[in-house]
Amino acid sequence: MKYDVTLNIEKSIEEYSFGYVAKQTNGSAWLKSGNTVILATVVVDEKEVEDEDFLPLTVQYIEKSYAAGKIPGGFFKRETKPSDFETLTSRIVDRSLRPLFPKGFAKPTQITIMVFSVDAEADLQVLALNAASAALYVSDIDINTSVSAVRAAKIDGKLLLNPTLSELNNSTLDLYLSGTKEDLLMIEMRSIGTNDIDVGTTYMFDPMVDPMLANTITTHKSNAMSEDELIEVLASASNALFVNNARYEEAFAAYKKETTAIEISTKNLNQSLVEFVRTNHMQDIQEAINQMAKSERATGLKRLRAKILEANDFDKDELSKAIEVVKREQVRGQILNQRVRADGRALDQVRKITIDTNVLPSSHSSALFTRGETQALVALTLGGPKDGQMYENLTDSSTQNESFMVHYNFPGFSVGEASPITGVKRRELGHGNLAKRALEPIVNLDNETIRIVSEILESNGSSSMATVCGGYLALKAADIEVSDAIAGIAMGLVSENGKYAILSDIMGLEDHDGDMDFKVAGSKEGITAMQMDIKLGGISLEILKEALYQAKAGRAHIIDIMHEAEKKIEFNDGVLPSSDFFHIDPSMIGEIIGQAGKTIREIIEKFEVAIDIDKKVGKVKVTGKSKKSINDAKAHIQGIASAPKAEKIEYKVGDKYKGKVKKIVDFGAFIELPDGSDGLLHISKISDGRVERVSDVLSEGQEIYVEILEFKGNKISLGRA
């Protein structure tokens, strides 16, 4: 392979080849970094779409199993539907590159990124964006701005840019930042709970799984990041973006194809029609805006259009554009000049919140979280270690198990649309992933699986943040221990002619007509997850800092309301699995387990519970569906542990003892000897005569005299004395 450009970017070497492969595309870039090889291509269709307000950009990130020397698992031995990682990476690239295209660009554009070879330590999301941006930069599309990505980690309190995957596993921060030389375009951030306390090996006894399945229990510590600390990280990462993009643009300029000016949609705005709407229908526009403050549907605007068309011979499409322009001016002007929003709220005011918990009696727990006209029904289900989601990323050496899941569903009826419910869309996957990243740091999973499902029943602004709030409440309604209270809030921005206004808890109207969608989740003290998309050219760190602190105040307000709701939680007793922890003398654990796990299995079957025992420290966890069964099992275990331990007897061949028949089998009976040891009385040794069935001669619990005949390893053979 011929490489045209070699760059040293943040500890790694990136080699680019342009025009050597995929020559029939508008632009392509072959990127090699270490053992990772990625091809990114850009193709533009000449036929324009009719809706010039919609940018017809599609991004597909595709991983090939052969890139890691693997054959696809499952029945079909070829790549099928995209994995969650592929879908989320496609979204990241799309959100980073979309702002480069000018408004009115109407030609369908496809960006395809394919991973042909992979290095186990490679950050594929960073390399995917860098490759896609390079392909776009050298294409014949007249876009002359480079976009690149940088990932920031914090290890032992020190900032590290573009860490390896191994280094990221030891980090308390995972921040993905994309932008140009001048502007931040997109942020994805999560704090990471550290596995800093290892409490030893645990043996889990559950009748539904193998009787002795070893697991390691670790506790997780939430590492919510303060606003000031985050701004410092963003400043350092922004500096890296400036340096990297400057080097990309300088190195790639010689390989850019000859470009033609970007064609913008020819449907120009009818200014006279805009002035007509301003002059004659401002009150109607205001009434429609008031309706949109209560619903994402633009029904009021459609009625206004129909009313005007009845009395005037205007072009329908031109009128729609004119109404939209005046509506946007009114929404933004009212915010910037009067500091009042469409629904009358102050800029930092959060809409009314109502909370109901455990509204689903047969679910393990549930929460109905309503904020303004956004409503999320969040249900939680507890499971065991085998209920987790198995997955394997391209860079993984083996199959992984996801034991904390957040699934988000957005049916059309939540925004008044008559649309069918189909498979999970990219947006749903992305919103669920954001909520998962917000909540996961506060949960300590102890051989458990948690699945949270958010059903959006109504939406008018940031249903993903409602999912975060409802998810936290569902955790509390399931009596799950968490390290902190977490809430989420969506922030907005309106900026024009040197003025700007930061909005707390934005609704759909403000998202549509605003300049930023900024979702922040965390505790009162810090941030656990964040997602930002900029519709402007970019945003300054000063404005971002102000938005972060305004979001902090909003989160605190929401958390106070959630704390009040927590006080009224009534658990779904009889449905919700419950747990109890206690300690016993570690030396007595053998008595609890019994020979080959017999005693512990009897306890599980009798009380219908699951039992985890940490042999190192004597910690016992009992889980069941009712508190009575848990308490009874606990008392039984504590009784065994507190019983005086029989003194071990040194048995010798020929000794005779009185024993008890513990269990009868086809070939004899197991006899419990005075110190609790078991011996086998074979059917041939029970009587001088022939015995057809052991149960004809012996019964369980019967006391008999036996003689020690021989030892076979740890086994004792007995005869009838």
pLDDT tens, residue by residue, 432-457 = 999 999 999 999 887 789 999 999 99
Instruction: With a cut of 50, say whether residue 600 has pLDDT above it.
Output: yes
The domain spanning residue 679 has which CATH number? 2.40.50.140
d(CA 148, CA 58): 18
pLDDT tens, residue by residue, 521-570 = 999 999 999 998 877 666 778 888 999 999 999 999 999 999 999 999 99
The domain spanning residue 583 has which CATH number? 3.30.1370.10
Instruction: With a cut of 60, say whether residue 599 has pLDDT above it.
Output: yes
Q: Are residues 475 and 597 in the same domain?
A: no
Confidence (pLDDT) at 52: 58
On whether the CB atoms of residues 285 and 44 are closer than 8 A, the answer is no
Q: Are residues 423 and 444 in the same domain?
A: yes
Q: Are residues 143 and 230 in the same domain?
A: yes
- Averaged over 624-630, what is the pLDDT? 82
Instruction: DSSP for 645-692, please give it.
Output: PPPP----TT-EEEEEEEEEETTEEEEE-TTS-EEEEEGGGS-SS--S
Q: Are residues 608 and 715 in the same domain?
A: no
* 389 Cβ neighbours under 8 A, 6+ residues apart: 401, 402, 405
Main-chain dihedrals φ then ψ at residue 455, nearest 5 degrees: -105, 115
Q: Are residues 292 and 437 in the same domain?
A: no
In this structure, the strands spanning 404-409 and 449-458 are parallel
The secondary structure element, H or E, covering residue 599 is: helix 598-607
What are the angstrom distances between the C-alpha of 573 and each of 361, 380, 480? 9, 14, 14
- Averaged over 62-85, what is the pLDDT? 88
Q: Which sign does the torsion angle of CA 390, 572, 485, 448 carry?
A: negative
Q: Which residue matches tokens 């998309």?
A: 533
Residue 206 forms part of a structural domain: no
Q: Are residues 304 and 386 in the same domain?
A: no
Termini Cα distance of the chain = 86
Q: Are residues 150 and 10 in the same domain?
A: yes
The domain spanning residue 386 has which CATH number? 3.30.230.70
Confidence (pLDDT) at 8: 86
Q: What is the pTM of this model?
A: 0.80
Instruction: With a cut of 60, say whether residue 217 has pLDDT above it.
Output: no
d(CA 88, CA 429): 7
On whether the CB atoms of residues 191 and 441 are closer than 8 A, the answer is yes
Confidence (pLDDT) at 216: 36
Residue 191 forms part of a structural domain: no
Residue 262 forms part of a structural domain: no
Q: Which residue matches tokens 């309190």?
A: 157
On whether the CB atoms of residues 391 and 433 are closer than 8 A, the answer is no
Strand, coil or helix: 7: strand
Confidence (pLDDT) at 220: 45
Q: Which of the four pLDDT bands, split at 50, 70 and 90, describes residue 49?
A: confident
Confidence (pLDDT) at 183: 86
Write down the H helix ranges in 482-584: 508-513, 541-566
Question: 37 pairs with which residues across the strands?
Answer: 32, 117
Confidence (pLDDT) at 209: 35
* 646 Cβ neighbours under 8 A, 6+ residues apart: 674, 675, 676
Q: Are residues 455 and 330 in the same domain?
A: no
Q: What angle do CA 290, 294, 298 make, to 5 degrees?
A: 70
On whether the CB atoms of residues 346 and 410 are closer than 8 A, the answer is no
In SS3 terms, 194-237 reads as: EEEEEEEEEEEECCCCCCCEEEEEEEEECCCECHHHHHHHHHHH
Q: Are residues 322 and 413 in the same domain?
A: no
Burial class from Cβ neighbours inside 10 Å (0-12, 13-18, 19+) for residue 575 reads middle
Confidence (pLDDT) at 176: 95
Confidence (pLDDT) at 218: 38
d(CA 364, CA 360): 8
Bigger pLDDT: 653 or 52? Answer: 653
Residue 627 forms part of a structural domain: yes
d(CA 262, CA 357): 54
Confidence (pLDDT) at 197: 33
pLDDT tens, residue by residue, 261-307 = 777 765 667 888 989 989 999 888 888 888 777 777 778 888 889 98
Q: Which residue matches tokens 């303060």?
A: 226
Residue 582 forms part of a structural domain: yes
Confidence (pLDDT) at 362: 93
The secondary structure element, H or E, covering residue 328 is: helix 316-333
Q: Are residues 330 and 425 in the same domain?
A: no
- Averaged over 305-311, what is the pLDDT? 89
* 442 Cβ neighbours under 8 A, 6+ residues apart: 193, 222, 472, 475, 482, 483, 484, 486, 523, 528
On whether the CB atoms of residues 393 and 120 are closer than 8 A, the answer is no
On whether the CB atoms of residues 493 and 516 are closer than 8 A, the answer is yes
Percent of the chain at pLDDT exceeding 90? 48
Residue 539 forms part of a structural domain: yes
Range of the domain at 367: 353-566
Confidence (pLDDT) at 219: 40
pLDDT tens, residue by residue, 376-413 = 999 999 988 788 888 888 888 788 888 999 999 999 99
Bigger pLDDT: 423 or 32? Answer: 32
Residue 561 forms part of a structural domain: yes
478: nearest Cα among 635, 625, 633, 628: 625
Q: Are residues 609 and 545 in the same domain?
A: no
Token output for 336: 């910037």
pLDDT tens, residue by residue, 501-522 = 999 999 988 888 888 889 999 9
Residue 190 forms part of a structural domain: no
How many domains, the chain? 5
Q: Are residues 511 and 598 in the same domain?
A: no
Average pLDDT, the chain: 87
- Averaged over 582-606, what is the pLDDT? 85
Q: Which of the four pLDDT bands, split at 50, 70 and 90, describes residue 196?
A: very low
d(CA 462, CA 458): 11
Confidence (pLDDT) at 193: 63
* Residue after which a domain boundary falls, among 566, 598, 628: 566
Q: Which of the four pLDDT bands, split at 50, 70 and 90, describes residue 474?
A: very high
Name the least confident of 64-78, 432-446, 457-471: 64-78
On whether the CB atoms of residues 670 and 620 are closer than 8 A, the answer is no
- Averaged over 313-341, what is the pLDDT? 89
Q: Which of the four pLDDT bands, split at 50, 70 and 90, describes residue 51?
A: low
Q: Which residue matches tokens 């508190």?
A: 627
pLDDT tens, residue by residue, 235-248 = 999 999 999 999 99
